[in-house]
Structure 1
């Protein structure tokens, strides 16, 4: 516990992100869940950090929250005495993301920041930086939990676990679907529990339980009802055919579209401005808004930046890990498999519901995964193993192996071309290249 006694100290690495006001807004609104006394924003971009820090102070003050906001470019100083350290960084910024979304398309593959060849590039840039930060945390503050929101979450979390860090990964896909399903049914989101299974950005909702009361057992299965009454809306949100959802009887994550409709996605991505370019423009506008000294709320434009419900998911997870509400809660997280999906290695990182409390994270048992999903999960897990090996040890051959193993690549000539482009566009971020 921090020196602030009954309140907590949180550190955010990547605190200069335009995402940060979303987190601050959640911390201010959910103070009864997570009593924060100090929020430290850590970022190498000092000018941007001060801009975000100023808005964070105004958001807290505007909601009558007493938390102190401090900023620093020094990771060691920032994480000292923190109860939890949240990672939300983007190595290379939006410029690197734009490249990740562009050069794979030259080879006929999807260009996306977490999926396929672009996702591998991001992992190679990110893993060494995250592990360096985590070592600083371990040296200065070994008792702190590390909560990773940095993509690709599955690979980054696996890297943290492989190095022995006290870490858990977090994504907003599950909480986003929970909120959408609750809205369709007109119920409190806390009454919705998901049968969510897979890997980060590769998941399916195989069931949706409407609980009798928040946190209670029992309840009834409502996924068939949701698909029957709201299948069109759900399919449109995911940009997947309603017929597919009806045929499978599940709700895939949006990211499954990159696999189920790969060639369609390639053509769409080629025909439009990159997501990175759109986000960069949104960020430019956000930073202008954040500079307004009277702004004390997160602007509506932030909703177009992505990361919906990010703050709620982070607050719930950190509160459970730090035991601020007592008891055990069930949350969807990225954590060690440890036999939960028996067709995967124990050290794989899976995204499933887990019991979370001050004793740690314990993934819940899962019913057998259908072959249609298990096959893809196993293939992407093998790719993630090879991707982590490449990120940790470098070398063109390791990059090639990871790409060859990826279900969206899987061909020698294609993996060769993608490897060349990946290395050409990322040499400044890869010490071994």
Structure 2
């Protein structure tokens, strides 16, 4: 029997620890724009957007939300929301156009202004180093499939940590390495648009290796800040009780979750997944695995929905009877509770953060207002799911709503809206939605 969403029971901020972190999240390519401004280099997503048919609406990130020029307005919106933390990503090609060599001081100056603006408003700084927009110059030298990229990433991580570590609460190495590896290098639907499982698995290994190398280097440099990684994770269920579906679900979970968690936590890849991959598995050494398994201060969890595995026909998510978002993803908050409990119980992770959680819906502006009750409900139910995990002893210390505002939603272009704040793209006017006002009231309770 499939579980149904719990009823909307009253929950307030006072039900969480007083030092619990409440935030919003964004990423550089999705909001900044200014892709040719102040010496920024091209990223793989700039190049990918030029490929015919790559982006659903034929758009690109050249303007996006123009956050690069409107960041003060956006910081004021955050302050009015009442969040005490902001998770954003740094654009590697903005601060180092070629991914190696000279630093771009104009790019670093932008992030200095952004960070100081956050601190002036009493908002914690949580930086992600790699949210998918690697410099195109490095991609032309092999990108994440080239082991040398790991060294370039470490130099970038160290430079950011040296410049901003004293202001920064946490530093995340990579956001969702599965997406970069699988969607970008195996399925080809995200940048850089390659289609090779062997390459994808090598990329995944280098992402994990560069994470461990960067964490080790920052700690050896004596820079004090919280270090971790962010993974996109979902409970995966078999679509039926057939042995074929049970096995398919186990392997799919292995490729999505255990392939990343096992090396990070145990210093090894799962044997059943290595066997499944065969010749497509990457070559690695015991030293690689020891480097990957650096102790972490936190693991970030990006959760949107659950998934089903079928050895035959694709699973029809509509058959669950639960609501489905504009992305076609089932609304299933219980999956977040289940996931957080698993990470603590199975992997012993002592600090978990919900680093992204949100939903895309077709918002409609009526008389200058956006009544996005479904997004409000989604956030409310997933905050409750987070609380349910904490009530079972899971150490969760933060929740970041995705996203602060509507933005460039990767291959979907501007057709999908996840924001608490509506962006009218022709005018770039920002308008808080009903969900933003609910979050504001929740945080002020």
Shared fold (TM-score, shorter chain, > 0.5): no
What is the TM-score of this pair, normalised by structure 1? 0.30
